[in-house]
Amino acid sequence: MEQKLIKDLIKNKDLVNNKENIINGVLMPDIFKKYDYDSEVGVGLSTKQLGGESGQEKTLAFQQATTDSQRFDQNFADLPLEKQLERIRAARGIKEILNTIYPESKKTDIAHKAIKLKLTHETTVTAIDQAFLENIKTQAGKSQKSKETSDAYITNLKDVPLIMLLADCAPIALYDPENKAIGVVHASRKTIAGEIPVKTLNKMNELYGTKPEQLVIYIGPYADGDRYEIGPEIYEEFFSLKNENDSLMFSEKEIQSIFKKSGRSSQGGEHYYLDIGKAIKYLLIKSGVSEKNIETSEYRTMKDNNLFASERVEGKENRGTNILVAVLKTKQSNE
Task: Give SS3 for 22.
Answer: strand
Structural domain includes residue 33:
yes
CA angle 303, 307, 312 (to 5 degrees): 50
| Residue 11 CB-density burial (10 A; 0-12 exposed, 13-18 middle, 19+ buried) | exposed
pLDDT for residue 76: 59
Structural domain includes residue 266:
no
pLDDT for residue 138: 73
Number of domains the chain is built from: 1
What's the chain's length in residues?
335
Task: Give SS3 for 4.
Answer: helix
Q: Could you list the residue range(s) of the whole structural domain that residue 120 is in? A: 2-228+275-328
Helical ranges in the chain per DSSP H: 2-10, 31-34, 55-65, 81-101, 105-108, 130-141, 189-193, 196-208, 232-238, 252-258, 276-286, 311-314
Structural domain includes residue 301:
yes
Structural domain includes residue 307:
yes
Contact 105, 159 (CB under 8 A): yes
In the chain (335 residues long), the average pLDDT of successive 10-residue segments reads: 50 52 94 95 92 51 47 57 66 85 88 89 96 80 60 97 92 98 97 96 98 97 91 94 94 95 86 96 97 96 90 71 92 51
d(CA 322, CA 271): 27
- DSSP letter for each residue of 144-194: PPP--B-SEEEE--BT--EEEEESSSEEEEEEETTTTEEEEEEE-HHHHHT
Contact 19, 29 (CB under 8 A): no
Return the sign of the alpha-carbon dihedral for residues 291, 228, 307, 333: positive
Q: Between the CA of residue 177 and those of 32, 113, 121, what are the distances in Å? A: 10, 22, 28
CATH number at residue 318: 3.60.140.10
Q: What are the phi and psi torsion angles at 124 (to 5°)?
A: -70, 135
pLDDT for residue 203: 98
Structural domain includes residue 306:
yes
pLDDT for residue 77: 63
Structural domain includes residue 252:
no
d(CA 50, CA 53): 8
28-37 CB contacts, 8 Å cutoff, 24+ apart:
28/100, 28/101, 29/173, 29/218, 29/220, 29/295, 29/297, 30/295, 31/216, 31/217, 31/218, 31/293, 31/294, 31/295, 32/175, 32/216, 32/218, 35/177, 35/216, 37/175, 37/177, 37/216
The distance from CA 188 to its chain's CA centroid, rounded to whole angstroms, is 10
Q: Which amino acid is at 317?
A: E
List, for residues 233-272, the tens digit of each pLDDT value: 999 999 999 998 999 999 999 999 999 999 888 877 899 9
pLDDT for residue 128: 97
d(CA 307, CA 277): 19
Structural domain includes residue 233:
no
Structural domain includes residue 250:
no
d(CA 328, CA 326): 7
pLDDT for residue 67: 45
pLDDT for residue 317: 65
